[in-house]
Amino acid sequence: METLIGQGNAPAHANGAAAPVKDSSDQDFMVDVIDASMTVPVIVDFWATWCGPCKTLGPVLEKVVKEAKGAVRLVKIDVDKNPAVAGQLRIKTIPMVYAFFQGRPVDAFEGAQPESVIKQFVQRLAKSAGAAAGPSPIEEALEHAEAALKEGDAATASAIFGQVLQHEPENLPAIAGLVRCLVKAGELEEARKQLAKVPANQANDKTIAAARAALELAEQAGQKQGGLDELKAKLAADPNDHQSRYDLALALYGNGEAEPALDELLELFRRNRGWNEEAARKQLVKIFEALGPTDPLTLSARRRLSSLMFA
């Protein structure tokens, strides 16, 4: 992992450039923020030593700003020691974060936020200034892992996701990726344990939802494997045997045959869309979620489903 996420650690001011993170004051605000923002966006973190959420937000802000490699800067102001600027900006609660560019406030948010939200904030700010922040070493590692998983190398992907989690134990894309690797390896119990680590307020994150869908599909399919020939024979005898068609779709998916599984579910929906409380449509949506919204199979099957729904 040293070659993947151990890069880019040199101080941004090593060659004389301004430090990416610094403490400031009412007296230095004009120079550190207004003047500095004429050339690069400056994020201002208003905080206090007694503020619990500030202690959570501050380190994440610093980390993300440093990973932006000079695209933005961060200035930290203790409102207890420096009340003037906070008063001028009418800050009533902390943590409060303002972004300045070319001498003016251009964006802001209040309260502690997840790292993913802060990254979007920084990237949006950098892009608006014409200097999109490059991917961090962690993001590059995740891209390597996703590429390996897509190529069927779950072992390599699992190792990289695991190493990312050693650095960032709460990284949701890494948790989700590791879960998908475990599902592919048939280690469903371990996959459930990994998902259980996700905080309740982040359980609906799209990457976690996709991993959960993959696990649920694998669990369902596990109950149906081994009867493909029998299920196909039942359908040949009675094409309107909806339960057998549904079970066949699950078995096919569990056998790694996603496209035929989608075909069977679409055929079931065509024949009787309301069967078993729209089970075919619900299962299709779950597979779309597991495959991802940009997967060619998802795109094709979604178009076919839409055609059937509005036929």
pLDDT of residue 48: 95
pLDDT of residue 223: 65
pLDDT of residue 6: 43
Q: What's the whole-model pTM score?
A: 0.57
Q: At 102, which amino acid appears?
A: Q
Q: Is 181 a catalytic residue?
A: no
Q: How far apart are CA 178 and CA 173, in angstroms?
A: 9
Q: How far apart are CA 33 and CA 40, in angstroms?
A: 10
pLDDT of residue 62: 94
Closest to 98 (Cα-Cα) out of 32, 27, 39 = 32
Q: How far apart are CA 304 and CA 281, in angstroms?
A: 12
The side-by-side arrangement of strands in the sheet containing 104-110 is 21-23, 73-78, 42-47, 96-101, 104-110
Count of CB atoms within 10 A of residue 90's CB?
7
- Whether the upstream peptide bond of residue 95 has omega within 30° of 0, thus cis, is yes
Note whether 260 and 242 are within 8 A (CB): no
Please, what's the b/e burial string for 44-83 (b: 16 or more CB within 10 A of its CB; e: otherwise)? bbbbeeebeebeebbebbebbbbbbbbbbbbbbbbbeebe
| Residue listed under structure tokens 């420096």 | 82
Query: Counting beta carbons within 10 angstroms of the beta carbon of residue 303, is it exposed (0 to 12), middle (13 to 18) or buried (19 or more)?
Result: exposed
* Catalytic annotation, pick one of 4, 44, 51, 57: 51
* Catalytic annotation, pick one of 4, 40, 44, 54: 54
pLDDT of residue 5: 47
DSSP 107-121: EEEES---HHHHHHH
Q: Is 54 a catalytic residue?
A: yes
Instruction: pLDDT tens for the chain, 311 residues: list them.
Output: 443 444 333 333 433 346 789 999 999 999 999 989 988 999 999 999 999 999 999 999 999 999 888 889 999 999 999 999 999 888 989 999 999 998 889 899 999 999 889 999 998 888 877 754 556 678 889 999 999 998 989 999 999 999 999 988 889 999 999 999 999 999 999 999 999 989 888 888 889 999 999 999 998 887 655 578 899 999 999 999 999 999 999 989 888 899 999 999 999 999 999 999 999 999 999 999 999 888 899 999 999 999 999 87
Q: How far apart are CA 263 and CA 32, in angstroms?
A: 61
DSSP 46-63: EE-TT-HHHHHHHHHHHH
Q: How far apart are CA 216 and CA 188, in angstroms?
A: 9
